[in-house]
A and B are shown apart, each in its own frame.
Chain A
């Protein structure tokens, strides 16, 4: 009898990514072969939006050429094909994050996902007060005397919806501060997350600091108080292997356009019992069971939260993007991008007048670095780099409170992805080293 053994240490079985592989990957991305200002494009703005491989672009085109129809209605061939493609895409993305099919809701982007949770929770308060819906709603309802807790490093998308939820419900918004290195102050977190806390929302990986937050610790603090946990996975889902069940969060959101997919598609994960109990956010077609002139009954999740005609081709393209990432291997690209992040920070620290936000070289970070150039405004830094074909992000990166905490208004951010080589980082560093002398600082 043959005995089949599987390697126990996959890390050794799978070779790490290298520049040669990255250059092969880059060939799949039409946008990356162009020149900008006479220079080959070096794209270091994937933290804002990523480029698309040809397979993703073709998936969307193929959908429109062969299967375009409204889903979940119509008995004709194209409608069946479109529905199959749309729902298969949902299963692919659910598998990608370790979620169940019913727990995977399409949104336009992470911002919409966070607003959806915020409004579903204030609707829960309204429904519960009128005895409508699931009896668990009164436990989910947020109101006066309750705390909503966020962190000082949040993107505006994971801050403002909670400010507004607090405003609508009379709850209090509190935040966990960061220390001077940019890490969350966990002692303070322990004190802030208390028995009044109903919801804790935080980012998995910071879009400015590059820090990966200790999800396990924070979830444990929330669980102790019976609070819900919302995870902003925008900067993690595209870059590292993510399993929502292992992380044990109640909700997680991310955007397709940061992970090789088109704009206009995002994902909300929510635990099934929560999604099925919560009132909807947007209402209309496709999410109902019975409608009378007076009222309506709603489908369970995911359709409960998908009112109106959906982003069908974008969902199909996101599934193609997810397959592309899975083929490369999330662990492999995470390791590669971490190396690039370290290379950025180590190099930036060697340049006079540069202050890197967040942890220094040697401390774990994702493949991005935001920095200040003494005496030169970020807009000028970005323009200088653009003249060399290097695309970076400048500004407050939708994190004004974090910048204010760090005493800055605008910074420059370089963010890498699986299609960036070490040479890209070196050219970026070489360009940054010329910024201050150009602007006579």
Chain B
């Protein structure tokens, strides 16, 4: 697999724009219940603190602070862009589908119908050392959702 298949345009773009980045800058919508999770990958120092605001069963907002490689940052950005407006159940299903692809060592292909832009991370699954980079914000979202509901 070539480097460009791993670092797809969408990943490089999101690693720079970082949708949802800035935890303190954004207040959670009023009336929403929130959950927050901090995740750290001790191997490379990737770090994400992510907050989910849930309102009437829907994800009203995701915001996060983080530091790490382009894959971990792009993954958090894609996640927060996709997740807003989803129902809590939908987000759980999306996280499960993402995890299945990422942990498959390249055997399970990403369905763009379900994963949208996150399908771009399919190539990461072939690099065992990078799977955690892509997963870190999704694990944080899953944990934050538990606390919000």
Interface residues of A (CB under 8 A from B): 376-380, 383-384, 387, 394-396, 409-410, 438-440
CB pair B130 A383 closer than 8 Å: yes
CB pair B67 A380 closer than 8 Å: no
CB pair B12 A410 closer than 8 Å: no
CB pair A377 B2 closer than 8 Å: no
Q: Which of A377, A387, A394 contacts B68 (CB 8 A)?
A: A377
Interface residues of B (CB under 8 A from A): 2-3, 6-7, 12, 15-16, 43-46, 67-71, 127, 129-130, 133
Q: Give CA–CA (A376, B7) in the complex, Å.
A: 13
Q: Give CA–CA (A378, B68) in the complex, Å.
A: 9
Closest 3 pairs between A and B when the two form their complex, measured CB to CB:
A409-B45, A377-B69, A379-B69
Smallest beta-carbon distance B88→chain A, Å: 32
In the complex, residue of chain B having the shortest beta-carbon distance to the beta carbon of A387: B3
Q: Give CA–CA (A384, B69) in the complex, Å.
A: 12
CB pair B127 A383 closer than 8 Å: yes
Smallest beta-carbon distance A226→chain B, Å: 38
Q: Give CA–CA (A60, B72) in the complex, Å.
A: 42
Q: Which of B3, B16, B46 contacts A383 (CB 8 A)?
A: B3
Count of CB-CB pairs between chains A and B under 8 Å: 44
Q: Which residues of B contact A395 (CB under 8 A)?
A: 43-45
In the complex, residue of chain A having the shortest beta-carbon distance to the beta carbon of B68: A377
Q: Which residues of A contact B45 (CB under 8 A)?
A: 395-396, 409-410
Sample (24) of A-B pairs whose CB atoms are under 8 Å apart: A376-B70, A377-B68, A377-B69, A378-B44, A379-B46, A379-B69, A379-B130, A379-B133, A380-B7, A380-B69, A380-B70, A383-B3, A383-B127, A383-B130, A395-B43, A395-B44, A395-B45, A409-B45, A410-B44, A438-B3, A438-B7, A439-B12, A439-B15, A440-B12
Q: Which of B6, B12, B67 contacts A409 (CB 8 A)?
A: B67
Smallest beta-carbon distance B13→chain A, Å: 9
Given contacts A379-B130, A383-B130, contact A394 B44 (CB under 8 A): yes
Chief secondary structure at chain A's binding surface? mixed
Q: Which residues of B contact A396 (CB under 8 A)?
A: 45
By CB atoms of chain A within 10 A, which of B15, B44, B67, B127 has the most? B44
In the complex, residue of chain B having the shortest beta-carbon distance to the beta carbon of A409: B45
Q: Give CA–CA (A370, B71) in the complex, Å.
A: 22
Q: Give CA–CA (A110, B67) in the complex, Å.
A: 32
Q: Which residues of B contact A409 (CB under 8 A)?
A: 45, 67
Q: Give CA–CA (A384, B45) in the complex, Å.
A: 19
Q: Which residues of A contact B130 (CB under 8 A)?
A: 379, 383
Q: Give CA–CA (A409, B69) in the complex, Å.
A: 11
Given contact pairs A378-B69, A383-B7, enumerate 11 new A-B contacts (beta carbons under 8 Å). Answer: A377-B68, A379-B44, A379-B46, A379-B130, A379-B133, A387-B3, A395-B44, A410-B45, A438-B3, A440-B12, A440-B16
By CB atoms of chain B within 10 A, which of A383, A384, A410 has the most? A383
Q: Give CA–CA (A409, B46) in the complex, Å.
A: 9
Q: Which residues of A contact B15 (CB under 8 A)?
A: 439
Q: Give CA–CA (A395, B46) in the complex, Å.
A: 10
Q: Which residues of A contact B67 (CB under 8 A)?
A: 409
Smallest beta-carbon distance A38→chain B, Å: 9
Smallest beta-carbon distance A381→chain B, Å: 9
Q: Which residues of A contact B69 (CB under 8 A)?
A: 377-380
Q: Which residues of A contact B70 (CB under 8 A)?
A: 376-377, 380, 439
Smallest beta-carbon distance B116→chain A, Å: 22
Smallest beta-carbon distance B128→chain A, Å: 12
In the complex, residue of chain B having the shortest beta-carbon distance to the beta carbon of A395: B44
Q: Which residues of A contact B46 (CB under 8 A)?
A: 379
Q: Give CA–CA (A410, B43) in the complex, Å.
A: 9
Smallest beta-carbon distance A373→chain B, Å: 12
Q: Give CA–CA (A394, B7) in the complex, Å.
A: 18
In the complex, residue of chain A having the shortest beta-carbon distance to the beta carbon of B16: A440
Q: Give CA–CA (A410, B71) in the complex, Å.
A: 15
Q: Give CA–CA (A178, B127) in the complex, Å.
A: 36
In the complex, residue of chain A having the shortest beta-carbon distance to the beta carbon of B47: A409
By CB atoms of chain A within 10 A, which of B2, B7, B69 has the most? B69
Q: Which residues of B contact A440 (CB under 8 A)?
A: 12, 16
Q: Which residues of B contact A378 (CB under 8 A)?
A: 44, 69
In the complex, residue of chain A having the shortest beta-carbon distance to the beta carbon of B133: A379
Q: Give CA–CA (A439, B45) in the complex, Å.
A: 19
Q: Which residues of A contact B6 (CB under 8 A)?
A: 383
Q: Give CA–CA (A439, B6) in the complex, Å.
A: 12
Smallest beta-carbon distance A115→chain B, Å: 20
CB pair B133 A387 closer than 8 Å: no
Q: Which residues of B contact A383 (CB under 8 A)?
A: 3, 6-7, 127, 130
Q: Which residues of A contact B2 (CB under 8 A)?
A: 387
In the complex, residue of chain A having the shortest beta-carbon distance to the beta carbon of B13: A440
Q: Which residues of B contact A439 (CB under 8 A)?
A: 7, 12, 15, 70
Q: Which residues of B contact A410 (CB under 8 A)?
A: 44-45
Smallest beta-carbon distance B149→chain A, Å: 33
Q: Which residues of B contact A438 (CB under 8 A)?
A: 3, 7
Smallest beta-carbon distance B15→chain A, Å: 8
Q: Which residues of B contact A377 (CB under 8 A)?
A: 44, 68-70
Q: Which residues of B contact A384 (CB under 8 A)?
A: 3
